[in-house]
Amino acid sequence: MDYQRILEEIADEVKPLLKNGVVANYIPELAKIQQDKFGMYLLTLDQEPYAVGDYDEKFSIQSISKVFMLAMAVGKCKEKVYRRVDVEPSGDPFNSLVQLEYEEGIPRNPFINSGALVVTDMLISNLSDPRGEFLEYVNKLTGQDDIRYNEKVAASEKLLGFKNAAMVNLMKSYGNIHNDIEEVLDLYFDFCSIEMTCHELAKAFRVFANHGKGVIDSHRYLTKSQFKRIAAIMLTCGFYDEAGEFAFRVGLPGKSGVGGGIAAILPNEYSIVVWSPGLNRKGNSLAGMKALELFTTKTTSSIF
């Protein structure tokens, strides 16, 4: 299949959408990003790369980091993770407080903000240097040693992170946060601030496409059972309250971030990443969603 031609066709078809989305301006540092950026990168398990646009420009991966957080926590804590975080789609915005209070401090899933904050708390409890070890983990997944946090983005998020602070305090009141509130928030903002390119994210997610086993180093990051559960959560919960729409239109497990990135996998076949900073009303990349819908339509590839 001529993947390169298909990516180039998609880039042309989504070009009119690049001016329609809204950059995540509630995070001051992200508001500075040029809206018409677009990159796409496909990486097959046999290491064939295909790319178009701004695929080698770094961007803040934001909530995509929650996949790495969950994978690392599951590797450390096994099934205990799911005692403190549920695995159901939320049906509500990613920063909703209402559902969290109704369900007595147990987040619906690990990919909404409250769930990722609990996962952050678990990593603090189980790692001697969570900030450094998490970065090392992401670098290892990517096969690099130069992935970094963006301190300006993290500080920008903390400046206006009132809802996240409210969530941590609420969950602390129910006993589902074990560590210092400020420590949890600071680390969570660091995790979300990681910068990667489409190329780098595709390399990291290729490990998930390979059922949790490294393609280059053959290291097993997750058991097949752990991978299966994380892939299921990506499919059902990876796109805020638009997960059903993504499954319906694209048909791949994946995760989005308000930095405009989307990373997805077809197990045993490929990882694919798209970046376009303009978001739709649900907080997902407008052009990115369409690009991946076009890709699975043109290639007739999905998990279904």
Q: Is 99 or 291 the better-scoring residue by pLDDT?
A: 291
Tokens, residue 60 = 């803040």
Q: HSE, CB side, 13 Å, CA atoms: give it for residue 63.
A: 26
Mean pLDDT across the stretch 58-68?
98
CB atoms within 10 A of CB 281: 9
The reply to whether 3-59+196-299 and 63-192 are identical in fold is yes
- Any known ligand binding at 63? yes
Residue boundaries of the structural domains of the chain: 3-59+196-299, 63-192
* pLDDT-derived band at 95, boundaries 50, 70, 90: low
- Computed from CA positions of residues 164, 167, 173, 175, in that sequence, does the dihedral angle turn out positive or negative? negative
| pLDDT of 64 strictly over 70 | yes
Of all residues in the chain, the percent with pLDDT exceeding 90 is 91
Q: What is the per-residue pLDDT for 210?
A: 97
Is 174 known to sit in a ligand binding site? no
- Beta bridge partners, 272, equal 42, 264
Residue 225, marked binder:
no
According to the model, what pLDDT value does residue 97 have?
86
What superfamily would CATH give domain 63-192?
A: DD-peptidase/beta-lactamase superfamily (3.40.710.10)
pLDDT at residue 123, as a whole number = 98
15-59, pLDDT tens digit by residue? 999 999 999 988 999 999 999 999 999 999 998 899 999 999 999
pLDDT above 90 (res 266): yes
Q: Which residues contact 9 (CB under 8 A, 6 or more apart)?
A: 294, 298
Q: Name, in order, each residue with C-beta under 8 angstroms of 302's C-beta and a sequence gap of 6 or more.
A: 250, 251, 252, 266, 296
Inter-residue contact 201 to 263 (CB < 8 Å): yes
Mean pLDDT of 52-71: 98
Was 25 annotated as part of a binding site? Answer: no
**280 has binding-site annotation:** no
5, burial (CB in 10 Å: exposed 0-12, middle 13-18, buried 19+): exposed
* CB neighbourhood size of 199 (10 A): 18
pLDDT at 91: 72
- Of 66, 84, 221, the C-alpha closest to 142 is 221
> Does pTM surpass 0.85?
yes
pLDDT digits (tens, 9 = 90+) for 202-259: 999 999 999 999 988 899 999 999 999 999 999 999 998 899 999 999 999 999 999 9
Considering the domain 3-59+196-299, what is its CATH architecture? 3-Layer(aba) Sandwich (3.40)
Q: Is the pLDDT of residue 94 over 80?
A: no
**92: CB partners within 8 A, 6+ apart:** 98, 99, 108, 112, 241
256 a known binding residue? Answer: no
Of residues 231, 220, 298, 219, the one with CA closest to residue 271: 231
Query: Is 157 known as a binding-site position?
Result: yes
Residue 99's pLDDT band, with cuts at 50, 70 and 90, is confident
